[in-house]
């Protein structure tokens, strides 16, 4: 099997309301860095974003390439999926995301599965979960 270099086997491809707004939001809120961006007359029509040096998400604006896809926010529905991203400091990521305009869904808390976890919703209605593994304790049991 083949794939482009430095590309994961699976990368979410989202529809966003505005490519420019999404590039700005994901950079400010999550620290994602823009990768390859296809710009048509000053409008980002396709974008790739990286986190910790890895491709984590790609997106295009509503209507790009003739698509009829819409964001969860535009459709007035709750996104049925959550993107789970490990980070170095869940509490700092949560505060950074809120400061950039994300809505809180679940504030940071230690979870039974062994991660400190939070969830936020971006301006397009997608949900992002951020986690940091909790330190192992002598009585820790491995998760199944």
What CATH number should be reported for the domain holding residue 28?
3.10.180.10
Residue 27 lies in a domain: yes
Residue 129 lies in a domain: yes
Number of folded domains that form the chain: 1
Residue 3 lies in a domain: no
Residue 6 lies in a domain: no
d(CA 81, CA 63): 22
Q: Band of the pLDDT at 1, cuts 50, 70, 90? A: low
- End-to-end CA gap in the chain: 30
Q: Phi and psi dihedrals of 127, rounded to 5?
A: -105, 135
pTM of the model: 0.91
Dihedral sign, CA of 56, 47, 12, 62? positive
Residue 143 lies in a domain: no
pLDDT value for 7: 86
Residue 142 lies in a domain: no
Residue 67 lies in a domain: no
The yes-or-no verdict on residue 144 having pLDDT over 60 is: no
- Nearest C-alpha neighbor of 87 from the set 108, 59, 60: 108
Residue 110 lies in a domain: yes
Element spanning 143, H or E:
none
Question: Which residues constitute the domain of residue 125?
Answer: 13-62+78-133
Q: List Cβ neighbours of 8 (8 Å cut-off, separation of 6 or more).
A: 54, 55
Residue 49 near residue 100 (C-beta atoms within 8 A): no
């Amino acid at each position: 099997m083949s794939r482009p270099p430095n590309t994961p086997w699976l990368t979410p491809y989202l529809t966003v309301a505005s490519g420019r707004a999404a590039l700005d939001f994901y950079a400010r809120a999550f620290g994602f860095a823009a990768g390859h961006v296809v710009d048509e007359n000053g409008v980002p029509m396709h974008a790739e974003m990286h986190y910790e040096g890895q491709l984590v998400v790609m997106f295009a604006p509503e209507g790009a390439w003739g698509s009829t896809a819409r964001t969860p926010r535009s459709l007035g529905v709750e996104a049925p999926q959550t993107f789970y991203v490990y980070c170095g400091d869940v509490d700092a990521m949560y505060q950074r995301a809120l400061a950039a305009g994300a809505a809180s869904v679940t504030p940071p808390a230690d979870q039974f599965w062994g991660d400190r976890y939070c969830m936020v919703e971006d301006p397009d209605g997608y949900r992002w979960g951020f986690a940091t593994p909790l330190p192992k304790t002598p009585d820790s049991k491995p998760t199944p």
